[in-house]
Structure 1
Amino acid sequence: MPHVTVEQGPRSNPVYQVGRKSFVFFRTPRPDAVDPESGERYPDVIVFWVESESDKQALVQDPGTPFFTTPHFDGHPSVLCRGSRIGELSLTELTEVVQDAWLAQASPRRAAAWLATQSH
């Protein structure tokens, strides 16, 4: 995706940004995302921005996807995904999620310019 920079989070976790706005980041283990059986914090959570609450709900309500959310992210336009489950997505599905995350955070001008190149 164009105009992407990779910043380092507080624990050297990668944070992908467009126009200084995060659209994908690798989250450090947090107490709100834990294994329900062991209580251990998930070490591999990836956050993807989404365009709207309805887009978020479409992803997290489908039990066939690896996406989830936690109360910490209520009202936040993003979904969470375990890195260990990313292989459950096809390359096409993963590409779409990343592109949609980028589009959710890119400026309207950058988004329009990129979308114009995709129709060819």
Structure 2
Amino acid sequence: MKPMAAPEDIGVICSGLPEVELGFSWGDRPTYKVPRGPKGRGFVLYRAPRKTDLDPKTGEPYRDLLVIMVPDDAAKSALVEDPSLPFFTVPHFDGYNAVLVQESRLGEISRDELEEILVEAWAARAPKKLVDEFFAGR
């Protein structure tokens, strides 16, 4: 049986990718960015609780949301529309290539699946040359 994903896997996987740094975006939100430095683009963001993003089960704002970039609308649809996966979206992200997932639900997917999704997120935001070098070396 494959090991299931856990919240600590986010940092391990993201930090293991080329030219990644943990910085901030939207003021104070921890964000994994590529490449390092001022031109870094976020690919995983820890989203702050919002009054508009409510858990339908509790009616309370989500407190452990991650925003994960995806390459395109087809990838977003594949993740959001698969009922076996914990990914979803909210109206705020309509037309934006990103999905949401609660850290507390990462255990519903394997670590390998999480790594695949995070590598795709990284590749969607990394410079093309860096992406080509990374995949050529795999």
TM-score when normalising by structure 2: 0.81
Measured after TM superposition, the shift of residue 35 of structure 1 is 1.4
Structure 2 partner of 1:113: 133
Match 1:21 to one of 17, 35, 41: 41
Unaligned 5+ residue runs, structure 1?
none
Measured after TM superposition, the shift of residue 32 of structure 1 is 3.0
> Over the residues paired in the alignment, what is the CA RMSD in angstroms?
1.1
Unaligned 5+ residue runs, structure 2?
1-16
Counting only pairs closer than 5 Å after superposition, residues 1-120 of structure 1 correspond to structure 2 as 1-9=17-25, 10-11=27-28, 13-19=29-35, 20-118=40-138
Structure 1 CA distance for aligned equivalents of residues 133 and 62 of structure 2: 37
SS state of the match for residue 58, structure 1?
helix
Measured after TM superposition, the shift of residue 31 of structure 1 is 2.4
Measured after TM superposition, the shift of residue 36 of structure 1 is 1.2
Structure number with the bigger relative contact order (C-alpha 8 A, sep ≥ 6) is 2
Which moves more between the two structures, 89-98 or 28-37?
Answer: 28-37
- How many residues were matched structurally? 117
Structure 1 CA distance for aligned equivalents of residues 69 and 94 of structure 2: 13
Structure 2 CA distance for aligned equivalents of residues 93 and 37 of structure 1: 25
Measured after TM superposition, the shift of residue 34 of structure 1 is 1.1
% identical aligned pairs: 41
Measured after TM superposition, the shift of residue 47 of structure 1 is 0.7
The one-character-per-residue Cα deviations of 1:21-72 (angstroms, maximum 9, x if unpaired) are 0000111101232111332100000011000000000000011101000010
**Equivalent residue letter for 1:30:** R
Question: Which portions of structure 1, spanning 4 or more consecutive aligned residues, are displaced by more than 4 angstroms?
Answer: none
**Equivalent residue letter for 1:2:** P
